[in-house]
Amino acid sequence: MKNAVVTGREELFAGKFIKLEKVEYSDRNGVLRQWEAAQRVRSSGAAVLIPKLVPSGKYLLIRQFRPPCGAYVIEFPAGLIDPGESVEETAHRELYEETGYRGRITRTFPMCCSSPGLTGECFATAFMEIDETLFPETPEQHLESTEDIELFAVTPQEIPAFLAEARARGDVIDAKIEFFFALCKE
C-alpha cells in the first residue's frame, strides 16, 4: 500500500490573511478525494510564547477578541512569523508588542500543526523568561491598531480560578492554555 499524496490545489477565495482551497489528494488506495482547507497568506507559520516572570513564577496570558470565535479568548501571546523572520525574532517582537516586556528565550519547540483537519497552519513554541526585577511596574503594550489585548500575570495555582472566572464572563479558553497548565500540575 502506498502513502496518500496531494495531487492538486484549487484556490476558492483569497483574502488579506487567509485563503480557502480545495485540496485534491490520492488516498493510500489510489482513490482521488477532495478536502476543503483554510491556509495562511504571506506567513510561514506562527510563534506561540510561554512567558514566565522570574522570580514570581507568574505566566503572562492575554485576553483578546477573536472574530472567528465571536468571543474573547484567553491565550498565550502569539503572532505570525513575518517573511524572512525567525521564530526567535517573532517571539521577541510579539512579547514586546503584546506585553511590553523584554525577555530571553530559554527553549523552543519546532513547528507543530494547530488544527490539521482545517488548516496547514503550524506554530512553533518559545518558552521565555522575563526578569521582573527590571520592570518595577507593568510596562506599556505596543499594540497594532487592530489589536485589543488585555494582559494578565497568573501563577499556576491561580489558573483554575482564573479560567473559571473567564468562562463565567463568556470567554473561550485556547486549548494550549488548558494543556500547558494541566501538565504543570504533574
pLDDT tens digits for range 124-164: 999 999 999 999 999 999 999 989 999 999 999 999 999 99
Does residue 48 have a pLDDT over 70?
yes
Q: Is 173 exposed, middle or buried (0-12, 13-18, 19+ CB in 10 A)?
A: middle
Domain ranges of the chain: 5-40, 46-184
- pLDDT at residue 47, as a whole number: 97
Average pLDDT for residues 117-130, to the nearest whole number? 96
Cβ-contact 114, 122 below 8 angstroms: yes
- Taking the CB of residue 72, how many other CB atoms lie within 10 A of it? 19
**How confident is the model at residue 70, as a pLDDT?**
95
Question: What is the structure's pLDDT at 184?
Answer: 82
Contacts 24+ apart (CB under 8 A), 118-121: 118/37, 118/38, 119/37, 119/38, 119/39, 119/40, 120/37, 120/39, 120/40, 121/38, 121/39, 121/40, 121/45, 121/46
Q: Rounded distance, CA 129 to CA 152, Å?
A: 15
pLDDT of residue 44: 83
46-184: in CATH 3.10.270.10: no
Instruction: Tell me the three cell numbers of residue 168.
Output: 463565567
Q: What CA–CA distance (Å, rounded) separates 47 from 104?
A: 15
User: 109 near 125, Cβ under 8 Å?
Assistant: yes
Distance CA 42, CA 18 (A): 9
165-186 per-position pLDDT tens digit: 999 999 999 999 999 999 887 5
pLDDT for res 43? 86
Q: How confident is the model at residue 42 (pLDDT cuts 50, 70, 90)?
A: confident
Share of the chain above pLDDT 90, in %: 91
pLDDT of residue 186: 56
* Section 73-90 average pLDDT: 96
Task: Tell whether the model's pLDDT for residue 1 goes beyond 80.
Answer: no
